[in-house]
Structure 1
Amino acid sequence: MNSATINRRLLLGAAVFIGSGGAACAQSRRPRNLVVYKTPTCPCCDGWIAHMRQAGFMATVNVLPDLRPIRIARGFPDALASCHTGLIDGYLVEGHVPAADVIRLLSERPTAVGLAVPGMPLGSPGMETPQGHKDPYDTLLVLRSGASRVFARHNPPA
């Protein structure tokens, strides 16, 4: 065998190895299936759903007149309620939580009920304004005890 044949074989072998590694990584990534519950009169929820889809989440939307029973069934405190509720991989995601925070939650897998952005802060996903106004807000990690702590801070004051 000459050196050209050996080099071609090495190149082909390396390409197959690299290609199969990429396929294995793609197959091992868990799908991001998100089930969203929203009321029929909330347009900002649609903006948040679009934000999540753009980040690679597969969102299924269910329209209900009242979301409280979903939150209660999962031990989520009323004080942190917002206008829509998402369920993903055992966690509840309440309100205008940025996709990056949900991705981090799924990566870190803390013992918790889920995440919440109470209220509807301007500049959060789905609450963008034409003027680009952004209120500072926190994403909260909601613990099983009902307590919460800051998980992420967004739009800090200048």
Structure 2
Amino acid sequence: MPFGLSVIERDTRDDLHTQFGIIPQLASCHTAVIDGFAFEGHVPPADIRRFLSIRPAGYVGLAVPGMPMGSPGMEQGEVREHFDVIAFGPKQMSVFATY
């Protein structure tokens, strides 16, 4: 795969969720690990790029909980739900972006 990308299919992502502190309230349908950071769910690519460029102290990744309509990969025409991209770490969570 290009750019050193590898896909690992697992029966469960519990080990990744434990490793990165992805609590049930942040969970979604898939998890990506890029440069040691976790990205849970349908996180917009621009937010991933911005997060990786600033690498905010105390945070280990971004999450879009659930599967909100209108998030990347969940497009349904003009139907869009409000969703937040949450930055999370072992001791903190904050809204990184709002759509």
- TM-score, with length taken from structure 1: 0.57
Larger radius of gyration: 1
Q: Which residue of 1 aligns with 2:55?
A: 109
Q: 1:132-153 CA deviation, whole Å, 9 max, x = no partner?
A: 31111110000221x3110001
- Paired residue secondary structure (1:83): coil
SS in 1 for 2:78: coil
Mapped partners of 1:128, 1:61: distance in 2:
23
1:68 corresponds to which letter in structure 2?
D
Higher relative contact order (CA closer than 8 Å, sequence separation 6+): 2
CA displacement 1:67-115 (0-9 Å, x = unmatched): 1111102222222111100101121000000000000001111121100
**1:100 aligned onto 2:46:** yes
Task: Give the one of 63, 66, 84 matched to 1:138.
Answer: 84
Aligned to 1:62: 8
The answer on whether the counterparts of 2:21 and 2:89 sit within 8 Å (CA) in structure 1 is no
Q: Which amino acid aligns with 1:60?
A: S
The one of 91, 94, 98 aligned to 1:149: 94
Greater share of residues in helix: 1
2:20 match: 74
Unaligned runs of 5+ in 2: none
Give the Cα separation in 1 of the matches to 2:6 and 2:45.
Answer: 15
Q: Is the 8 A contact 2:68 2:83 kept in 1?
A: yes
> Would you say how many aligned residue pairs link Structure 1 and Structure 2?
96
Q: Which runs of 4+ in 1 moved over 6 A?
A: none
Identity score, percent: 44
TM-score by length of 2: 0.88
Aligned residue for 1:20? none
- Structure 1 unaligned residues grouped into runs of 5+: 1-32, 34-57
State the Cα RMSD in Å: 1.5
Q: Does 1:86 align with 2:32?
A: yes
